[in-house]
Structure 1
Amino acid sequence: MLTDISTPGTWGLETAVLWPAGPDLVGREQELPAVEGRLLAPSARLISLTGPGGVGKSRLAAEASRAVSGEFPRGVRVVDVAACRTAGAAVAVVEQAVADLGGHGRGLLGLDGIEHRTRDLAPLITGLLALDAGLTVLATGQEALRVYGERVVPVGPLTPPGPLVGPEVADVQDNPAVLLFTRRAHEVDPGFTLTPENVDAVVDVCNVLEGVPLALELAATRLRLFPLAELRSWVRRGGDSHLTGPPGTPERQRSLSAVAEWSCRGLTPDQRYLLARLSIFEGATLATAEKVSPLSAAGTAEAIEVLLDRNLLRLAEPPRAEGRLMMPRIVRAWGRGVLEQDGVAGEAGESHARHFGELMRTIEGRFTGTEQQRWLRVAGLEHDNILTALAHFRSTGDLEAQAALLVACRRPWLIRGELRAGLELFDRTAAALAGDDSERALHLRARLCTGAGFLSSAAGDPDGAVHRHRRAVAIYRHLRDAQHGARASARLGRALIHSGDRETGQSLLAAARSTLEWLGDTTGSAEAAAGLAEASLDAGAFAEAGPLLQRAIGIYRQQGEIRGLAQTLLLGARLATLTGDRPAAYAAVRESLRLLDSIDDRTELPGALAAFALLTLDDAGQSQRAARLLAAADTMCRRAGMHRPRVLPDRFDTAVATLRRRLGPAVFPGVWADGVRAQPATTVAEALAVAEPSRVRERPEAESLTPRQLQVALNVAEGLTNRQIAEQLSIAEWTVVNHLRQVMRKLGCTSRVQVAWAVGRRQ
């Protein structure tokens, strides 16, 4: 159970090869120096590498130990604690390892796989460190020893590339998860390389396997037998749980299911039950965990703490949202297997589905109004759980529950850009309900048709939207529902206008608007007014469009209807552009961008970004920014399965061609690639940081910064504070403040962020 790694050998038992001899450590460029640094620091006596099973804690510890072994004159001794069958054996072999170090000076004791022996080893290690001032301990395990002075180093999975649309080799070849998979695949098949033809499949495999090194390596070995496309499909179906490694590896690491079984060993019945119940969830809040737990609130909190300590759960904290309990993929598969073994999988799935059906019906009415950002964010975080619930209802044949959950998802899915999958589900469910003529089923069918119409319209399929909205109109007419029928008619009218039948569309919109106003449905009448305004703009009737837009904008502001207001403001920007009022157009697009960004919109936002880019197209120094914004808009559309933005028709492709010529072949591709890679929030921030062109034109001295002012501005662009700039330039801080005021006045900026963007544009 001992090995001296200062001589050729392996981490763990002398008789077992845990990893190939001399493996390259991939993706740990930051962790490895950090561990080495702690081992070299005399003050760090006990270092524990903790993390989920399969992330490579042992390999990282072995590599770090080898690198610093020369600094430990007494030698390095390593114990494979996991191989010890009893607590007494573990204690005895650790004591023997320390005795074998002998001598004077520093010695390093490695403890591999301590997760099931922490209670037994903690007092022993505490005593050994107290007695031997030269002893340093490096431990690995899924939980820490939790003794005084322990330095815990969390080790997580490699960062996967994340969801990408049309990934290119250059974008992902240096990603640690992709790099590890491709290297191991090349070892299996020397002809394997990352190519434009296979990069999408490689990215998908790395994402599905969550960047877990053991899972990636085991998956790569399967390429001996199967092509990558088949491996990808197999992994997506969950087959990776049974991936097996070389026979020489310890039993606990021979497959992913074995890793999970080992990780969950020793749980109490209640902890086991809670973990299995949570495995149904694709992330759960603490409140949800309490609902499914067999324990009291206090007992549940204690059990969750144990599961967190053992890295069977982790607590994710999304921005501006409640913390969520997340589970590694391999543990989730184990938990679902437990539910199957216990014969409660069906009941657990039903409980999960009902929970999210009730949640979405409860919050559906809150997707507008003062708290809509919060509840839209909740719906977005629960997206995967909702898909699981829908699949359960579909498998049990509960069409009504499936339809009710789907219609509650219409607005968040539209905002998130879940167009293709959403459209298929809405259509399929509406078709399945066609044989049920009960009033409840008819209402659900009408709402499903309406939702599908919205999704079709957002995807750029006006004919499909016409077809689906027409069905909704017919159903509401049959139900004699005047209000919803008028809203459906307004939506049909707008879809008809987009499909080219402006006359019929305007007629339907005008009639629907009159009905909705008579019924007191101000939000519905605003939607109809905006549709009529768009038709007037298409026809060049600017005088008619203006009052309609003002009416719709006023109602949307009063009602707090963020998305409708943002859409209508874009129409207002289009009217202002066509009538030559550029300041008004800028103001409208800026407000639209802020509103859409506040609800994380991904279907209207591309149009707003494109509109802003087209406005800046003719402004001096804005060509690169315009290209980035158009690239970001185009990428968002492709990611959501939409056509290019409809804002300012026919100008998108012309603008791209103009920018390609203006920037030239040496600059344009790089700028466009920057826009493709940019995150939506970053892109919006860049657009909003631009100083209004009218203000810059009013100040011809904008290009006449003094050398000192330019130095200050450049330092601001690098993120330095006033004090840091003063130290950098050896001037007083108040002098920096005065220079910065002059810079902002000359550049027409109102913030440091705008100064940073303006200076970046001038370089």
Structure 2
Amino acid sequence: MPGLWQSLPRGRVTFVMTDVEGSTRLLRRAGEDYAALLQRHRVLLERTWAAWRGVEVDREGDGSLVAFASADHALAACAEAQGRIEREPWPVGMRFRVRMGVHTGLAAPRGRRYVALAVHQVARVTSAAHGGQVIVTADTAAAASPAVAGALAPLGRFRVRDFDAPVPLLQLTGHGLPGTFPAVRALPAEGHNLPRPLDALVDRDAELARLAELLPAARLVTLVGTGGVGKTRLAVEAGQRAVPGWPGGVWFVDLAPLPGPDAVAAAVAVAVGVAGVPGAEPWQDVVEHLRRERALLVVDNCEVHREEVARLVADLLSACPGVHVLATSREPLHVPGERLLRLAPLAVPERAGRDVAPAEALAAPAVRLFVERARAVQPDFDPDPAAVACVVDICRRLDGLPLALEIAAARIGVLQPADVLAGIRRSLRILRSGDTTQPRRQRTLDDLLDWSVRLLTAEERLALARCAVLGGAFGVEAATAAVAGDPADEGDLGGDPDGGVDEYLVPELVWSLAEKSLLVAAPTAGGTRYRLLQTVRDHARALAAPAEQRATARRLARWYLDRLGPEHLGGQRWVSSVAAELDNVRSVVAQLAGGGDGDGAIAQELAVVLGRYHEAVQQLREGVTETTRLAAELTAATPARVALLTALADLHLRVGELDAAERVVAEAGALRTSAGAPDWDDVGLDKAAGELAIRRRRYDHTVALAERALAADPSLRGRARMHNVLGFARFCLGDADGARKAFAGELSCCEQLGDEVLLAHAHGNLAEIELRAGSWAAAARHQRACLELALELGQQGMLACTLNVAARLAAEGGDGPDVWGTVVRLGTKADDMLRESGLVLYDEDREVTERALASARGRLGTSGFEAQQAAGHVLDVAEAVRDAERVLADVEAATSTEARAFEDGVPKPRGSSPGAASEDAAQVTS
């Protein structure tokens, strides 16, 4: 009888995760009865999953994880489950509401559970839902049939943790499900005296629609956002559109020019047209005037006198039931009943200008605004593709801030887009507006930001300057590492001259800066992260002297090394952690470059992290480019530089650049003689030199090098790496038993390390040696283990290797057009995936694969071969993985085939040369 795990779907799996909304509240109400109610809800769900062929693979707390082979079945099950829960007669006050998330991704079971990135991703999606709601990713929508996908309503794109890019989310509708829910619990990637704007408002339709809903219902709505984001412009537009609904008028009050808080009441009186009585309190006149009116008050720039505004608004709302207030501020007013609408900058293209098609770029809201404003000063402005690319980069550099874009676009009257971009890169002071009708603070971006900073306390200014050292989104822990420095590191920013900020105060300071819109908050399932807009970051960095910035960068570097440093290399958790902090690590490295030898060594260690990350995720070309630049910038003669050069050499080897790798290995070797190598990379250079020798077919040299390194008793990771190259070299010399023994040693070390990436490579290496030796069942067994890990890690290169090995095993085995069609399709798809990832096969591996494909061409004929090749190019990755799994399973089961391949214990390979190098670059460990 097969076990449960054997029935779990694999390949492209649709996961459903559930969670009970408000479980703590229900537990408090139900007390001892809660367990029975929870079980009752579980029974309802279990029956539904079973009816739709779902398999519950995990249960934690009051939630569950269910796997489906079919996206259609998963969505149908969710709809039915929500219906059952809704119809169930729960006790009064004990109604269960369950949030559900659905995501489809590559996965394979390990035992009775899944360990896959897709599982983490579905958990994040579930956390964004509300009770009774089913939120679905675009991956699942794409996997569903058109009829089922038609019931999915788009919600927009959101930033969700564990996804590399913003995720389109959809909501399952119909089937009796509610149609409306509160906003998704994720951050989305967007008679009157009102002034008459001279330009059209660009891309604020969603915000205007939301304001149209909120203003009649909520007494106080506050538009919150950073300076220059367009709060005033949006408030004015919303006010103009709202005029017909407010018979008492829509009245605009600008608080920015007021000399002090005592002038606020008088400014409101003037705006609403109250003449007042000499000597009388203007505020009482305002209240009496508006007491019976249905009017909308638009109060702009409230952050200037926030406390006084909050007091007066609360009084007005209490005394005048028909008055509503639309406020703009960089922080909330904190008046009871206040509704917030946070205003984000205009959306910018996610890629650099050179990587975006002109039509796509011109559709982006920020680019549209820039082009429209540029045509106001140069009516014939019609940018060619090169100019459009510059405009995209301008918009990205200015974070899509409307004020900054308008000032920059005004320069098009005298400068080309490339000149504007170059000027912005040198200094934001090029952004100086000639419009004297604007308040002084809005005539340059620097003036605007200066004005914002002057409103901060000394501790807030210090925290802002230090957080600006970080280059991307960060958590409170990283902020604490940056802000709560040692007294000796402090600079003079108007704070405590004896030291920095106490550690326990940092979270409050971060929250306060976010409230004031100088930090942008990005709530995630794992906690809130924060970031600075690039324009704010540039300005904030100028608040501190270079020595102070470097001291902050040094603290952050040590903090990151403690958590992500080279001694922690390997495993999916490390890869995910580095991915979340990439921009921050890069920023820290950049600010330490050019410092003393101490700073240089720390920066080099972090640069090694960046290089090894590129290798782990197989962003090989990007890795070569970035690591080459870092090696050129970080030149201190330290052991860490030896490791940095080694990481660069390994990247060159992965993409087949042998001459470049040889030069870097020689430089690293010369430096190691004088500086030594770091303990955490004890055999790194030997490993790179050994692999280079294999590529050059100097196998004896590699054997001697590897045996010498192993005799020196290296670290566990070092032993794994040297067993790896020793295995390659011995097999290339025709010593299959020695190679098998070396690769078995590599596998044993990797298992002890618990490093999934190295372990996958080790299984792939053993698969290759067994394949070349004719031990096909063993080869299939190891390659299946490699495949399962590759699915967990989401590694395209490893998947490509599996397809390649499966194609070759199929060619070794049976006959008939179906078999040879599989060989061609898998081999073609593997080649496409390898090309996409930048990986380059050993010459011998490529020759073996080409022989298998040549045999297929002979069996199928030219037309049949080309037809299968075309099918391979368009083959879905999940389908290719399923075909490879089938081939590997069939080969592994055919143990008699393996037995016939041996006579007196001597392997007899079929169809391949035992003198070839062992494995392609994707399965070489680092």
Alignment TM-score, normalising by the size of structure 1: 0.71
Higher helix proportion (structure 1 or 2): 1
Relative distance call for 1:583 and 1:171 in structure 2 (3 A) is farther
Contact 2:484–2:506 (CA under 8 A) maintained in structure 1: no
Deviations along 1:686-735, one digit per CA (max 9) or x if unpaired, are 9879994459999xxxxxxxxxxxxxxxxxxxxxxxxxxxxxxxxxxxxx
Q: Distance in 2 between matches of 1:660 and 1:177?
A: 49
Contact 1:49–1:57 (CA under 8 A) maintained in structure 2: yes
Displacement of 1:161 in angstroms is 2.1
Contact 1:308–1:315 (CA under 8 A) maintained in structure 2: yes
Displacement of 1:298 in angstroms is 4.9
Relative distance call for 1:276 and 1:171 in structure 2 (3 A) is same
Relative distance call for 1:261 and 1:613 in structure 2 (3 A) is farther
Answering whether residue 220 of structure 2 is matched by residue 46 of structure 1, we say yes
Partner residue in 1 for 2:416? 227
Higher strand proportion (structure 1 or 2): 2
Displacement of 1:627 in angstroms is 9.5
Q: Distance in 1 between matches of 2:677 and 2:600?
A: 23
Between 1:136-145 and 1:620-629, the stretch displaced more is 620-629
Q: Superposition pairs for residues 594-633 of structure 1, below 5 Å? A: 594=791, 596-597=793-794, 605-611=795-801
Partner residue in 2 for 1:123? 311
Partner residue in 2 for 1:342? none
Answering whether residue 456 of structure 2 is matched by residue 250 of structure 1, we say no
Relative distance call for 1:359 and 1:622 in structure 2 (3 A) is farther
Answering whether residue 624 of structure 2 is matched by residue 419 of structure 1, we say yes
Q: Superposition pairs for residues 188-337 of structure 1, below 5 Å? A: 188-193=377-382, 196-239=385-428, 242-244=431-433, 246-282=435-471, 285-292=478-485, 294-316=500-522, 323-337=528-542
Q: Superposition pairs for residues 555-570 of structure 1, below 5 Å? A: 555-570=749-764
Answering whether residue 218 of structure 2 is matched by residue 25 of structure 1, we say no
Which secondary structure does the structure 1 equivalent of 2:242 belong to? helix
Find 2:550's aligned residue among 324, 342, 350.
350
Partner residue in 2 for 1:93? 267
Deviations along 1:211-265, one digit per CA (max 9) or x if unpaired, are 2222222222222222222322322334367443522222221111122122223
Partner residue in 1 for 2:645? 449
Deviations along 1:143-196, one digit per CA (max 9) or x if unpaired, are 121101111111111233224573323554433333333433444444545654
Q: Distance in 1 between matches of 2:703 and 2:613?
A: 27
Find 2:722's aligned residue among 528, 533, 539.
528
Q: Distance in 2 between matches of 1:116 and 1:628?
A: 61
Amino acid at match of 1:355: R
Partner residue in 2 for 1:137? 325
Q: Distance in 2 between matches of 1:494 and 1:470?
A: 14
Deviations along 1:391-413, one digit per CA (max 9) or x if unpaired, are 444444x1353134313431443
Q: Distance in 1 between matches of 2:505 and 2:677?
A: 51
Contact 1:48–1:150 (CA under 8 A) maintained in structure 2: yes
Relative distance call for 1:553 and 1:169 in structure 2 (3 A) is farther
Contact 2:471–2:584 (CA under 8 A) maintained in structure 1: yes
Relative distance call for 1:63 and 1:558 in structure 2 (3 A) is same
Partner residue in 1 for 2:67? none
Find 2:238's aligned residue among 60, 64, 73.
64
Answering whether residue 249 of structure 2 is matched by residue 75 of structure 1, we say yes
Which secondary structure does the structure 2 equivalent of 1:159 belong to? coil
Q: Distance in 2 between matches of 1:103 and 1:626?
A: 79
Q: Distance in 1 between matches of 2:641 and 2:869?
A: 53
Which secondary structure does the structure 1 equivalent of 2:226 belong to? coil
Amino acid at match of 2:702: L
Displacement of 1:646 in angstroms is 9.4
Amino acid at match of 1:567: H
Q: Distance in 2 between matches of 1:277 and 1:534?
A: 49
Partner residue in 1 for 2:692? 495
Q: Distance in 2 between matches of 1:380 and 1:330?
A: 23
Deviations along 1:298-348, one digit per CA (max 9) or x if unpaired, are 55444443322211223445675x754422333333333333xxxxx0331
Amino acid at match of 1:51: G
Q: Superposition pairs for residues 382-461 of structure 1, below 5 Å? A: 382-396=581-595, 398-416=596-614, 417=619, 418-430=623-635, 433=637, 441=638, 443-461=639-657
Displacement of 1:34 in angstroms is 0.9
Q: Distance in 2 between matches of 1:239 and 1:658?
A: 62
Contact 1:427–1:452 (CA under 8 A) maintained in structure 2: no
Deviations along 1:354-377, one digit per CA (max 9) or x if unpaired, are 2134335534666447x9555555
Relative distance call for 1:404 and 1:65 in structure 2 (3 A) is closer
Relative distance call for 1:661 and 1:400 in structure 2 (3 A) is farther
Contact 1:209–1:216 (CA under 8 A) maintained in structure 2: yes
Q: Distance in 2 between matches of 1:405 and 1:572?
A: 37
Between 1:528-537 and 1:301-310, the stretch displaced more is 528-537
Contact 2:306–2:333 (CA under 8 A) maintained in structure 1: yes
Q: Distance in 1 between matches of 2:831 and 2:207?
A: 38
Q: Distance in 1 between matches of 2:291 and 2:524?
A: 51
Q: Distance in 2 between matches of 1:114 and 1:218?
A: 24
Which secondary structure does the structure 2 equivalent of 1:338 belong to? coil
Q: Distance in 1 between matches of 2:380 and 2:844?
A: 47
Partner residue in 2 for 1:710? none
Partner residue in 2 for 1:176? 365
Contact 1:490–1:508 (CA under 8 A) maintained in structure 2: no
Alignment TM-score, normalising by the size of structure 2: 0.60
Deviations along 1:49-85, one digit per CA (max 9) or x if unpaired, are 1011111112222222222321222221111122323
Which secondary structure does the structure 2 equivalent of 1:362 belong to? helix
Displacement of 1:291 in angstroms is 1.2
Amino acid at match of 2:747: I
Contact 1:45–1:129 (CA under 8 A) maintained in structure 2: yes
Partner residue in 2 for 1:717? none
Q: Distance in 1 between matches of 2:865 and 2:233?
A: 49
Q: Distance in 1 between matches of 2:306 and 2:710?
A: 71
Which secondary structure does the structure 2 equivalent of 1:79 belong to? strand
Partner residue in 2 for 1:731? none
Contact 2:466–2:552 (CA under 8 A) maintained in structure 1: no
Task: Among all aligned residue pairs of Structure 1 and Structure 2, give the percentage whose two residues are the same amino acid.
Answer: 25
Deviations along 1:113-133, one digit per CA (max 9) or x if unpaired, are 111122111121112122222
Number of equivalent positions = 636
Q: Structure 1: give runs of 5+ residues left out of the alignment.
A: 12-18, 340-344, 434-440, 598-604, 676-682, 699-763
Find 1:515's aligned residue among 702, 705, 708.
708
Q: Superposition pairs for residues 700-715 of structure 1, below 5 Å? A: none
Contact 1:51–1:57 (CA under 8 A) maintained in structure 2: yes
Partner residue in 1 for 2:744? 550
Relative distance call for 1:44 and 1:379 in structure 2 (3 A) is same
Between 1:164-173 and 1:132-141, the stretch displaced more is 164-173
Q: Structure 2: give runs of 5+ residues left out of the alignment.
A: 1-190, 275-288, 486-498, 808-817, 855-861, 892-926
Which secondary structure does the structure 2 equivalent of 1:30 belong to? helix
Deviations along 1:482-503, one digit per CA (max 9) or x if unpaired, are 99786533321202333xx21x
Higher relative contact order (CA 8 A, sep 6+): 2
